[in-house]
Amino acid sequence: MTEPSSKKIRVTVSRSDPGTERTFLVERIEPMMVLDLLIAIQREHDPSIGFRYSCRVAMCGTCTLRMDGRAILACQTPLEPDRDKVRLDPLAGLPVVRDLVVDMKPFFEEWARVKPYLEPVEGLDEPARIRPDSPERQIIDPSLDCITCGACYSSCGIADHKRDFLGPAALNRAMLLIADSRDAAGAERLDAVTASDGVDRCHYIYGCSAVCPKGLDPAAAIRRLRRWRLEGRPR
C-alpha cells in the first residue's frame, strides 16, 4: 500500500531534443518505484514525456532506462526513502526514439543471429524433458531468465562501440541452447559465437553481469563458451 508523503524529489530527465533535459519536483509516495515517478511526472507535470512500460512486474523488459548512469528496470527499482534527487536517461548504446524510449532493433538483430530458439533434434519424443538434477540443467537454469531488457547490452562498452559484437544477451542465450541436449544446432551455434564478432570481443568489463536485473551472469556464459571452443561442447 502506498502512503502520501510531504517530501519531494528532484528528477532530471533527458529529453530527446538534442542536449535538452527537464527537471521536475515530484511528490514522494512510500514506497515509490522509478516507474511510479515517471507516471507521476506524466500525470501531474508533463504529459508529453516519453517512456515505455507494460507488465510492471519485471517480466516484459520494456521499462529499462538509466538511473544515475546505471541501467535498471524502472518498475522494480525502488527509490530509497532518503533520496532527494535522481537523474534518468535512456539506455546507452541504442538510438533514442523519444526521451527515455530507445530503438531496440540493434539489440534484437544480434539476438536473432544466434537463433535464440530450440531446434529440436530429429525424433525427439514429446514432451522432451531434461531431468532437474542433470548436469545440463545445472548449466541451463541459472541462465534462463533473460527478459531481453537490453540492460546488459547497454552496459557493455564493446557492444556500444562495435555494432557487430553479438553482445552479452545473445551470447548467454546461445550458451544455454548449446548446453541443451534436445537442441540440434549446437555445433552451428558454437561456430557462430566463436567467430570474429563473438566471444573474443568481450574484454570482461563485467558491466553486463553487474546490471542484469534478473541476476544472470552473461560474463560467465561467455567464459564457458570460450572453454567449449577448446574442449568441445558438453555431450
Q: Is the Cβ of residue 63 or residue 177 nearer to ligand FES in the bound state?
A: 63
Query: Residue 234 CB, nearest distance to ligand FES (Å)?
Result: 32
Chain Cα centroid distance, residue 210: 11
Show the site string, 168-207: x = touches ligand FES by CB under 6 A, - = not: ----------------------------------------
Q: Give SS3 for 59.
A: coil
Chain Cα centroid distance, residue 12: 23
Q: Looking at residues 46 to 105 of the shown chain, list those that interact with ligand FES (rule: CB under 6 A).
A: 53-56, 58-63, 73, 75
Query: Residue 39 CB, nearest distance to ligand FES (Å)?
Result: 11
Tell me whether residue 64 is exposed, middle or buried, using C-beta atoms within 10 angstroms of its C-beta: 0 to 12, 13 to 18, 19 or more. Answer: buried
Q: Which residues of 14-39 are buried (b: 16+ CB within 10 A; e: fewer)?
A: bbeeeeeeeebebebbeebbbbbbbb
Contacts (Cβ under 8 Å, ≥6 apart) of 227 = none
Q: Is the Cβ of residue 75 or residue 192 nearer to ligand FES in the bound state?
A: 75
Query: Residue 227 CB, nearest distance to ligand FES (Å)?
Result: 32
Query: Residue 13 CB, nearest distance to ligand FES (Å)?
Result: 17
State the cell numbers at 235.
Answer: 555431450
By CB under 6 A, tell whether 108 contacts ligand FES: no
Q: Which residues of the shown chain bind ligand FES in the complex (CB under 6 A)?
A: 53-56, 58-63, 73, 75
